[in-house]
Amino acid sequence: MIHLTNISKHYGQKILFREGSLQIRPGDKMGLVGPNGVGKTTIFRVITGEEGVDGGSINIADRLIIGYFSQDVGEMRGRSALEEVKAGAGRVSDLAEKVGQMERLLADSAIHPLSDDEMTQLLEKYGEAQLEFEQRGGYDLDSRAKAILTGLGIGPGDYDQPVESFSGGWKMRIALARILALNPDVLLMDEPTNHLDLESILWLEEWLTNFKGSLLMTSHDREFMNRIVSRIVAIENKTVTTYSGNYDFYLREREVRQDQLLAAHQKQQDMLAKEEEFIARFAARASHAAQVQSRVKKLDKIERIEIPPDEKTIQFDFPVPPRGGNDVVKFENLGKDWQLEDGGIKHVFSGAQAMVQRLNKVAVVGVNGAGKSTLLKIIAALTDPTQGQVQLGANVKVGYFSQHSLEVLNSEKTIYDEVYDRVPQATIGYVRNLLGAFLFSGDDVYKKISVLSGGEKSRVVLATILANPVNFLILDEPTNHLDIKAREVLLKALQNFDGTVMFVSHDRHFLKSISNRVFEVDRGELRVYEGNYEYYLSKKEK
């Protein structure tokens, strides 16, 4: 269906990949991986025709319908959410118009008869168009669009809301629904789980599993990737390599291939050293001139095995926190109501009671809007409870992270100044080392916050939290905007953290790997599960 053969792409002096090949076959479910900036989005744009290549060939089957979901949703206005989704049906909309025109011609033929040949041709075209319209789900477009919106968390009450009334994150969901409703032959998806809660991620996972077309996607959600894809396309070190397996298989196979490459490189280096030693020893002897020349020519022809440079990854451990009391936080009869703009009251939860103790790693879970973030904000003293009280233990020092923390960053400050201002007593070396751990080195530390990506801002906020040792971390979606490798590093650091953690995350791998207790906020109540996330899931199933 889609064949990219020996393609090369560069921007100025920067080479993304050389002579890379990629095939998307019918029914393929493929993951596209690689560090930020290596060209994953470029591959999508090449397939959609938005960008060309500097070498190689691109072959795409005729009449192939390609749906592309990117993080750039563009302008949305003038339609309701449901109308926006249906408007993205593309080919289906064209077919509906074509079928309608031919039906009118057939009806008119009773008054204005057609010749036998004209009627035969019309009926053939009508049959073909009607069949394709049916195959592409044209007859159930309305119900399909509604089901997709609901699955992504936009219920019937919001179908008719104008798209411009939705926030950026919800517009992303509408854009995603629009692409899914298209029901394309090939689906290209760039980070589809961003801005989705766990329930929507699970729904999307099932939808993609049952999707009959082909899929090529990037995702920072390791478990989501593992459950859906059966092939991995990796863009690394200016090459494009395909692995037959899911993301975990790719990690294992990549390590095996790396070990083989290192072994082959060492063997070649030993051989080269031996040959070069012979040449150096006998270069001046006339009796060995022919042998020396032969070996020089041999070395010139050998293709040197190159070891790719080590990828930069975040390397950090949380500093040893001050020792606090065994009882970290206790809340009794805790409740929260929000005052709405129209004067009404939104009840979030009430009667919440729990104790968090030292070294607990508490996952806070619940459907979108249940009150997870509200609970964390109350504990972090960023909002007051409507009822009940929160009591922190002795010598508890809190570090709080949320996506709103990114907005607290001063856009006019440099990265260095933003962190240094949190620890003015620290040395330049300390701040630079801390920033280096988060991949900000050299002149990068003097970049303004305003020019940073979401992932870079998240790393700055995590660095500001680390600048002062804390023993109680409250983390609301700390993995948003972080790629898989950065998430793994954060995960390991939290596993080794000698303190207490309460966190909200929609990343199941993260939840399973860290939690040893689960607090579920559900329908206005708090339920405590004395076990990890797997234990919580087993109890929920029962």
pLDDT in tens, 74-115: 778 889 999 899 888 767 777 877 888 898 888 888 888 888
Question: Rounded CA gap, 235 and 4, in Å?
Answer: 14
pLDDT given for residue 314 in this prediction: 63
Amino acid residing at 455? G
Q: Are 485 and 387 found together in one domain?
A: yes
**Nearest residue to 1 via CA among 219, 215, 241, 228:** 215
Q: Are 366 and 485 found together in one domain?
A: yes
Q: Are 358 and 371 found together in one domain?
A: yes
Q: Is 392 helix (H, G, I), strand (E, B) or coil?
A: strand
Residue 315: pLDDT above 70? no
Q: Are 255 and 378 found together in one domain?
A: no
Question: Rounded CA gap, 280 and 169, in Å?
Answer: 66
Domain with 352 in it: what CATH number? 3.40.50.300
Q: Are 324 and 368 found together in one domain?
A: yes
407's CB contacts (< 8 A; 6+ apart) are none
Q: Are 366 and 451 found together in one domain?
A: no
Is there a contact between 375 and 352 (Cβ–Cβ < 8 Å)?
A: yes
Min mean pLDDT across 18-32, 178-192, 237-251, 395-409 is at 395-409
Q: Which two tokens stand for residue 8?
A: 């090369």
Q: Are 320 and 331 found together in one domain?
A: yes
Residue 408, classified by CB atoms within 10 Å of its CB into exposed (0-12), middle (13-18) or buried (19+), is exposed
Q: Are 276 and 373 found together in one domain?
A: no
pLDDT given for residue 430 in this prediction: 83
Q: Is residue 24 part of a domain?
A: no
Burial call 149-161: b when 16+ CB within 10 Å, e when fewer = bebbbbeeebbee
Average pLDDT estimate for 455-483: 85
Q: pLDDT band for 501, please (50, 70, 90 cuts).
A: very high
Q: Is residue 93 part of a domain?
A: no
Q: Are 531 and 391 found together in one domain?
A: yes
Q: Are 329 and 478 found together in one domain?
A: yes
Average pLDDT estimate for 39-58: 93
Sheet holding 345-357, edge to edge: 345-357, 327-339, 387-392
Is there a contact between 150 and 178 (Cβ–Cβ < 8 Å)?
A: no
pLDDT given for residue 145 in this prediction: 92
pLDDT given for residue 405 in this prediction: 74
Q: Is residue 364 part of a domain?
A: yes
Question: Rounded CA gap, 179 and 169, in Å?
Answer: 16
Q: Are 287 and 382 found together in one domain?
A: no
Pick 202 or 310 by higher pLDDT: 202
Average pLDDT estimate for 474-496: 86
Min mean pLDDT across 51-65, 322-336, 388-402, 412-426 is at 412-426
Question: Rounded CA gap, 362 and 501, in Å?
Answer: 6
By residue range, what is the domain housing residue 442?
412-467
pLDDT given for residue 310 in this prediction: 67
Q: Give the count of domains, the chain.
A: 3
Q: Are 254 and 365 found together in one domain?
A: no
Residue 35: pLDDT above 90? no
Residue 36: pLDDT above 80? no
pLDDT, tens digit, 9 for 90 and up, residues 393-415: 999 999 998 877 777 788 899 99
Q: Is residue 308 part of a domain?
A: no
Q: Which residue among 301, 336, 366 closes a domain?
A: 301
Q: Is residue 520 part of a domain?
A: yes
Question: Rounded CA gap, 518 and 532, in Å?
Answer: 6
pLDDT, tens digit, 9 for 90 and up, residues 241-279: 999 999 999 999 999 998 998 999 999 999 999 999 999
